[in-house]
Structure formats: C-alpha cells, structure tokens
Amino acid sequence: MHTASKIKTLAEAIPQLVEWKTSGQRIVFTNGCFDIVHLGHVDYLEKARNLGDRLVLGLNTDASVSRIKGPLRPVVNEYARARLMASLAFVDTVILFDEPTPKELIESINPDILVKGDDYTVETIVGSDFVLGNGGEVKTVPLVQGFSTSALIEKIKTSF
C-alpha cells in the first residue's frame, strides 16, 4: 500500500467512512497542523487511535497554518506533512482542510469520538457540541511534556 492512498478529499473519504461505520467500527477524529513531526505528535496520535477502530486526521493546509501560526509557518509543506501523517500505521485517513476550524469537517464525518490534547477542555474543543449532540464522545489525551513544534523551532534558531 502506498501511504499517499490514505490522503483523501472529504468526498473521497466518505464512502470509506460509511463502510467503516456500517461494519460497526468506531471512528476517531482529531486535527492539527503537525508541522515538524516529533515524539509529542506520534504519542498523541497513537493514544487517539487507541480510543477507537479508525483514526481520521484533519490536517491544516499550508494557507491555514500560516493564518494560525504566522507567515513563516509551516516549515514543512502540506504534501510532505500529509505523507508523513499517512505513513503512521495508526492513522487511517488524512483529510486536508483550509477552513479556520475543522467544524465543517467534523460535521461531515460525524465521528464517534472527537479527540484533542489535554491542553484543551471538552468545552473548548471545536465541534464538541455537535459530536456530543449526536451521541458521540469527546475526549482529551495527555500530551508528552516538553515537545512542541514552536519550541523546537526556537531551539534550532538559538543554536546558530
């Protein structure tokens, strides 16, 4: 299997999502920028996937990352970030999104479980009201302390 085959548009992903749901599999959804992949990302995604049967990852486009993180980000372009995420065995599908939040994507996917890191509360997670209102669960998972892309970039900058 070529990892790029896990990267889909929402329209391409829908038939697979329907198949998974019809067969009783629990779909977990999370999202993020995942710029300069590090242990914190891998640990977080693995924990998210362990909450259900399939992990769908909403990945911010380059334009979206720049709007959130500033004009010098992302460091790694969206194609490379998507391929890296898709290469992880516990990520089943990667869907790029350009909107300010993943709200529309969450509402289209209607995951069984919505996950973010424990730097969020259930109330502050975008889409939590929708997921809970449709009988799903919203969970936070513990983050590995000391790992962040922003901190990694600062460390690199101060090393030179």
* Average of per-residue pLDDT values in the chain: 93
Residue 151 has pLDDT above 80, yes or no: no
Residue 3 has pLDDT above 90, yes or no: no
Q: Report the C-alpha gap between 83 and 80 in whole angstroms.
A: 5
- Number of Cβ within 10 Å of residue 150's Cβ equals 12
For residue 56, what pLDDT is reported? 98
| Overall number of domains in the chain | 1
Residue 97 has pLDDT above 70, yes or no: yes
- Overall average pLDDT of the 57-76 stretch: 94
131-146 as b/e: b if 16+ CB within 10 A:
beeeebbbbbbebeee
For residue 133, what pLDDT is reported? 98
Distances (CA, A) of 60 to 19, 30, 64, 78, 83: 25, 11, 6, 8, 13
- Overall average pLDDT of the 133-142 stretch: 97
When pLDDT is cut at 50, 70 and 90, the band that residue 32 belongs to is: very high
Instruction: Output the domain CATH number for residue 118.
Output: 3.40.50.620
- Global pTM reads 0.92
What domain range includes position 105?
3-158
